[in-house]
């Protein structure tokens, strides 16, 4: 018996899926506070990354402290794209501490939490950067991030057409079936990436591809892209011409410049952090093609983890 609770993936998923709107509001406020700088009361070092060269993988560790809330977390994640079922590609756990005493409050599965907090950050970006009342959503990928983005974005917006493209058709079709069976969300598989992107108001790229899967000439003017893959400097999900023609927003300028191949390899200029748009200090420029490049931040983990912990404790009473 552990001296602290362990919250499984099922518990984390249930707490987040039941409180999506609260999660999005919480991260919107967190992103705003982060972009305030020291005044926001958030301490967050750049993530520590170790490249696992023999496995073409990564070991990531991320820590954050929300001073006013007394939230303190560390997350450790491994990413091994060569893993074969039943081993998942991404594995990880998060430690939630009492910042006042240093005591461990709980440990929780980090994979579902990461997926939903990433999707919630994309929902914040979509709120501010996409055309108002977006109707067509295209999702590239069929893994955990693709699923969480569809669940979260379809909760926050009234999409009439949700398209899924993946280079492996059977994986995409499996996700289409799962979303209908488990969530009553109607989606459809499309055969090519270009077809998926055509006339889409919002596009999510959530793949493990090291090479671009989305091209500039596939997008209509005013489309918004949430790019959540390509977490390495030598990887790109978006073509350089797309990055250069778009207004680029990020979660963290420091993080993007040290980790995003989409930005560094293309030479694209970062216009703003999304938190600056929430603050009102930078424009949303939603009439132009926009990209939100999301590497994920430890403060997102911290705020999402505290939400999960609070609801899990309530469930047990």
The CATH number of the domain where 184 resides is what?
Answer: 3.40.50.720
C-alpha–C-alpha distance, residues 157 and 134, integer Å: 7
pLDDT confidence bin for 264, thresholds 50/70/90 = very high
Domain with 303, as residue range(s), is 6-113+299-315
Judge whether 1 lies within some domain: no
Same domain, 153 and 63: no
* 143 and 248 share one domain: yes
Please write the tens of the pLDDT for every residue from 183-203: 999 999 999 999 999 999 999
Mean pLDDT of the chain: 95
Q: What is the pLDDT of residues 10-19, one digit of tens each?
A: 999 999 999 9
Q: Is the pLDDT of residue 75 over 70?
A: yes
Domain assignment present for residue 83? The answer is: yes
Report pLDDT for 317.
Answer: 62
Q: Are 262 and 237 in contact (CB under 8 A)?
A: yes
pLDDT tops 90 at residue 294: yes
**pLDDT of 1 strictly over 80:** no
Q: Residue 191: inside a domain, yes or no?
A: yes
State the Cα–Cα distance between residues 149 and 26, nearest whole angstrom: 17
The span from the CA of 309 to the CA of 315, in Å, is: 10
User: Residue 208 domain-assigned?
Assistant: yes
Give me the pLDDT at residue 174, please.
97
Same domain assignment for residues 160 and 236? yes
Q: Same domain for 155 and 25?
A: no
Looking at residues 255-265, what average pLDDT do you find?
91
Answer whether residue 227 is part of any domain: yes
Please answer whether residues 196 and 163 qualify as being in contact, where contact means their C-beta atoms are separated by less than 8 angstroms.
yes
Q: How many Cα atoms within 13 Å fall on the side-chain side of residue 167?
A: 9
Going by pLDDT thresholds of 50, 70 and 90, the confidence category of residue 230 is confident
Same-domain check for residues 138 and 233: yes
- Please tell me whether residues 212 and 283 are part of one structural domain: yes
Please state the rounded mean pLDDT for residues 137-163. Answer: 98
Q: Does residue 231 sit in helix, strand or coil?
A: coil
Q: Is position 204 within any domain?
A: yes
- Whether pLDDT at 306 is above 70: yes
Q: Are residues 166 and 184 in the same domain?
A: yes
Residue range 146-150: average pLDDT? Answer: 98
- 75 occurs within a structural domain: yes
Residues 130 and 211 in one domain: yes
Contact residues for 78 (Cβ-Cβ < 8 A; gap 6+): 52, 57, 58, 59, 60, 90, 91, 92
Do 149 and 28 belong together in one domain? no
Do 214 and 79 belong together in one domain? no
Cβ atoms within 10 Å, residue 183:
15
Rounded mean pLDDT, 296-306: 97
State how many domains the chain has: 2
> The domain that contains 51 carries what CATH number?
3.30.1780.10
161/288 same-domain check: yes
Mean pLDDT of 291-307: 97
The string of pLDDT tens digits covering residues 21-63 is 999 999 999 999 999 999 999 999 988 989 999 998 989 999 9
Read off the pTM: 0.94
Say yes or no: 241 and 107 in one domain.
Answer: no
């Amino acid at each position: 018996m552990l001296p602290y609770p362990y919250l499984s993936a099922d518990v984390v998923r249930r707490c987040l899926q039941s409180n999506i709107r609260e999660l999005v509001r919480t991260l919107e406020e967190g992103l705003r506070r982060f972009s305030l700088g020291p005044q926001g009361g958030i301490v967050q070092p750049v993530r520590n990354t170790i490249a696992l060269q023999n496995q073409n993988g990564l070991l990531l560790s991320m820590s954050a402290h929300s001073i006013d809330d007394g939230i303190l977390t560390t997350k450790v994640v491994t990413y091994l794209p060569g893993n074969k079922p039943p081993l998942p590609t991404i594995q990880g756990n998060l430690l939630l501490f009492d910042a006042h005493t240093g005591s461990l409050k709980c440990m929780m599965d980090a994979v579902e939490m990461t997926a939903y907090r990433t999707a919630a950050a994309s929902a914040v970006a979509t709120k501010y950067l996409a055309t108002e009342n977006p109707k067509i959503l295209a999702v590239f990928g069929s893994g955990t991030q693709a699923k969480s983005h569809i669940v979260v974005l379809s909760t926050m917006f009234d999409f009439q057409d949700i398209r899924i493209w993946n280079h492996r058709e059977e994986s995409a079709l499996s996700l289409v079936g799962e979303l209908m069976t488990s969530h009553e969300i109607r989606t459809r598989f499309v055969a090519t990436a270009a077809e998926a992107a055509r006339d889409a108001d919002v596009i999510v790229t959530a793949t493990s591809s090291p090479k671009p899967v989305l091209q500039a000439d596939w997008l209509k003017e005013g489309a918004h892209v949430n790019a959540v893959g390509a977490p390495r400097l030598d990887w790109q999900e978006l073509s350089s011409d797309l990055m250069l023609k778009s207004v680029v927003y990020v979660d963290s300028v420091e993080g993007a410049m040290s980790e995003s191949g989409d930005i560094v390899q293309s030479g694209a200029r970062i216009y703003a952090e999304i938190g600056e748009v929430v603050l009102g200090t930078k424009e949303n420029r939603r009439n132009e093609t926009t990209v939100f490049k999301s590497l994920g931040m430890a403060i997102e983990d911290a705020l999402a983890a505290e939400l999960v912990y609070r609801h899990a404790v309530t469930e047990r009473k």
